[in-house]
Amino acid sequence: MEKLIGLLIMIAVGVGLALVFWGLNRLLGPKSPNVVKDVPFETGRAPISASGRRMAVKFYMIAILFVLFDIEMIFLYPWAVVFRDIGAVALVSMMIFIAVLVLGLAYIWKRGALEWQ
Amino acid sequence: MNGFEFDWIAIAPFLILSVLGFAVVVLGISFPKMYRGTLGTIVLVGFAVAFLASLQSWDDARLAFGGMITADKFSSAFSCIFILGATLTIGLSINQVEEKYLLYSDYFALVVFATAGMTLMASGTNLLTLFLGLETLSIALYVLAGFRRSNEFALEASFKYFLLGAFASGFLLYGIALIYGITGSTDLTKISAYVSSEGILGSKMFFAGFLLLLVGFGFKISVFPFHLWAPDVYQGAPTPISAFMATGSKAAGFAALMRFMIAMQSTTQSGWQDIIWVIAAATMILGNVIALRQSNVKRMLAYSSIAHAGYILIGVLAGNTIGSSGIIFYLLTYTFMNIGAFGVISYLSTAEHEFITLSDFRGLASSRPFAAIAMAAFMFSLAGIPPLAGFMAKFYLFSAGVKAGYVWLVIIAVVTSMISLYYYLGLVVQMFMRDKEADVAATAPLQPAVMIAISIAMLAILILGIFPSRWVSLFQDLARSLM
């Protein structure tokens, strides 16, 4: 617990400092409201469309595929740490795991999930 | 630490099914034009091998992977039930998948993977193994439920099933975490040791974990109040998959629940009986009463399947050998009669017209006598009329309930099954005693694979109904080995 007190103080000071600066700015800064200031900045030009646009579903596909194949990393790191202790069984297990993943990759490739059409 | 010893034999059914699933995926992407019957035959051969492998562990019980997996009579019987259900499901699908749904190799592969998950649930004796099996099963089913991608009911089914299923998995995991926090283990034997020394109510946190696990399992077996997804999902999913969910997935949920509940039994009064009592009673009443009002046969069967989960809970509650053997006999019977009933729907449906409202069935006896007789047999069996298997199955469960002293619950069960007669026989009346309307004639082409699957299911409910004692004594051996 004592170790954490330092951390707590640091968090308190950090948040406090930010609040102080923000408050001082609100109190002392000059104010001149203006319609143009409320417009989102878009390289200096007037915005041409609303920001909440519909996204193509293919982005979602890429994202989910990324997550799927990124997860394997989580398994590879602890495996790499204990690999020497376990030996051949670890190697074979991981090869089977990777083979399943490769099969998955082949599947999505064949099914055209990687094509951007 | 001997956790790294691979006991291939203990997980043989799971391994065979997994390899089969991958093989189907590989075949599907290598030969996209492969005839669906060929692929279906490969799957059925794989199922036969997995079935034989499951029988292997009947006489040869073994504990594997440091107690994570137990291959015994229990897992053997359940795996056989799952594989039978999946086989019939494939039989119902072979003629359909190409014209109605694209990508039939994916469809077959998902059914195989779901079955693999089920076998893992039956042989898991660790909460994490049970969870792993449940997720393997569920993820495959989420996709299968929405397989008719252009149908809005299918989208609703898939979406609803996925969202609620994800929540149920969350409940289950949270429960596992709490139980792990108290007992320091996810191994069911260690948890069982904790329960017999402290009792379920010994610690509030343990009890909370227990309740959360009940929610998770209750969702899978669709009992009140976690049943709300079932009618919508069964309606929107492809009919063979509805059958698969109502039988295989439910049986798998019961397998996991039984493993868990046997661990929860202690010498003292454990305190969970009252909860199960209320859930069972409410499930039977609600399922049967709402089924009365359904005009869509798939929804009617969904509510009937909710009600049947209530009957089966009597066996869980009884907790004796007759109860446990009764559950397994019931699930075996139920697999045949329910897949048969959904099978008739799928047999009569075409791509343009799904054959699911009560009025569709009007006068079916004259236009399609085979389908009408089969449907009548399944309805009689579901209602529990002798000499069909549904009667014997109910008889064993209810007598187990009476022996364990739950007379009132059994009275509720008997009364609600009498109520259920009304809607089961209502369908039979439509088929045999009403004249058909001109424009809803059954136009579906004859589908040999579906006819064979329906005939097998009919034969099975006859055999199980007339000669039940052989099977029941087998299952009683099983139940004795569990206690």
pLDDT in tens, B148-164: 877 888 888 899 999 99
Helix axes B250-264, B321-348, angle to 10 degrees: 170
Residue percentage of chain B with pLDDT more than 70: 93
Structure confidence at residue B1 (pLDDT): 40
Q: How far apart are CA B458 and CA B344, in angstroms?
A: 11
Structure confidence at residue B273 (pLDDT): 83
Query: Which string of b and e fits B244-264 if b means at least 16 CB within 10 Å?
Result: bbbbbbbbbbbbbbbbbbbbb
Structure confidence at residue B368 (pLDDT): 81
Whether A89 and chain B come into contact, CB under 8 Å, resolves to yes
Closest CA to B227 of B240, B238, B218, B216: B218
DSSP A8-46: HHHHHHHHHHHHHHHHHHHHHS-----HHHHSPPBTTBP
φ, ψ of residue B102 to 5 degrees: the values are -75, 175
pLDDT in tens, B248-268: 899 999 999 998 888 887 655
- Contact, B131 vs B174, CB < 8 A? no
* pLDDT over 90 (residue B180): yes
- Contact, B344 vs B374, CB < 8 A? yes
Structure confidence at residue B333 (pLDDT): 93
Q: How far apart are CA B156 and CA B134, in angstroms?
A: 22
- B-chain CB neighbours of A108 within 8 Å are none
Structure confidence at residue B56 (pLDDT): 83
A4 CB neighbour count, 10 Å cutoff: 8
Secondary structure of residue B359 in the 3-state scheme: helix
Give the domain range for residue B437. Answer: 272-483
Whether A37 and chain B come into contact, CB under 8 Å, resolves to no
User: In terms of pLDDT, which residue wins out, B284 or B262?
Assistant: B284
pLDDT in tens, A64-112: 888 888 888 888 888 888 888 878 888 888 898 889 889 988 888 888 8
Query: How many domains is chain B built from?
Result: 1
Structure confidence at residue B93 (pLDDT): 84
- For residue B225, whether the previous peptide bond is cis, meaning omega lies within 30 degrees of 0, is yes
- Contact, B240 vs B342, CB < 8 A? yes
User: In terms of pLDDT, which residue wins out, B282 or A116?
Assistant: B282
Each domain of chain A, given as residue ranges in start order, spans: 2-110
How many Cβ contacts (< 8 angstroms) between chains A and B?
A: 13
Give the DSSP letter of residue B199. -
Domain assignment of residue B280, yes or no: yes
Distance from CA of B356 to the nearest CA of A (A): 33
* pLDDT over 70 (residue B438): no
- Contact, B127 vs B186, CB < 8 A? yes
Q: Per-residue pLDDT averaged across B67-72, rounded? A: 85
Structure confidence at residue A41 (pLDDT): 73
Q: What angle do CA A96, A102, A107 make, to 5 degrees?
A: 130
Residue percentage of chain B with pLDDT more than 90: 37
- Contact, B58 vs B73, CB < 8 A? yes
* pLDDT over 80 (residue B445): no
* Confidence class for position B129, pLDDT limits 50, 70, 90: very high
Q: How far apart are CA B192 and CA B198, in angstroms?
A: 10
- B-chain CB neighbours of A86 within 8 Å are 4
pTM, full prediction:
0.86
Q: How far apart are CA B409 and CA B448, in angstroms?
A: 43
Taking CB atoms and an 8 Å limit, are B25 and A103 in contact across chains? yes
Closest CA to B91 of B48, B31, B124: B48
Closest CA to B90 of B39, B162, B20, B135: B39
Closest CA to B412 of B234, B249, B224, B269: B224
Interface-testing mutation among B4, B5, B24, B139, with chain A (most A C-beta atoms within 10 A) = B4
Q: What angle do CA B112, B115, B120 make, to 5 degrees?
A: 130
Q: What CATH number labels A2-110?
A: 1.20.58.1610
* pLDDT over 70 (residue B170): yes
Q: How far apart are CA B277 and CA B150, in angstroms?
A: 42
Q: How far apart are CA B113 and CA A114, in angstroms?
A: 24
Q: How far apart are CA B332 and CA B393, in angstroms?
A: 9
ipTM > 0.95 (yes/no): no
Taking CB atoms and an 8 Å limit, are B22 and A100 in contact across chains? yes
Structure tokens at B449: 């694979």
* Confidence class for position B5, pLDDT limits 50, 70, 90: low
Whether A106 and chain B come into contact, CB under 8 Å, resolves to yes
* pLDDT over 80 (residue B239): yes
- Contact, B223 vs B309, CB < 8 A? yes
Q: How far apart are CA B460 and CA B440, in angstroms?
A: 31
Domain assignment of residue B159, yes or no: no
Structure confidence at residue B440 (pLDDT): 55
Domain assignment of residue B81, yes or no: no
pLDDT in tens, B291-300: 988 888 888 9
Structure confidence at residue B351 (pLDDT): 65
Structure tokens at B239: 């009919």
- Contact, A96 vs B18, CB < 8 A? no
Q: How far apart are CA B118 and CA B265, in angstroms?
A: 24
- For residue B468, whether the previous peptide bond is cis, meaning omega lies within 30 degrees of 0, is no
Closest CA to B127 of B257, B30, B226, B231: B257
Rg (CA), chain A: 26
Helix (H) or strand (E) holding B341: helix B321-348
Whether A18 and chain B come into contact, CB under 8 Å, resolves to no
Average pLDDT in chain B? 86
Domain assignment of residue B111, yes or no: no
Contact map slice: B 6-45 vs A, CB within 8 A? 6, 22, 25-26, 29
Taking CB atoms and an 8 Å limit, are A103 and B6 in contact across chains? no
Contact residues for B332 (Cβ-Cβ < 8 A; gap 6+): B81, B84, B464, B471
* pLDDT over 80 (residue B392): yes
Where does B404-475 show beta strands of DSSP type E? none
* Residue position matching structure tokens 């739950």: B406
- A-chain CB neighbours of B22 within 8 Å are 100, 103
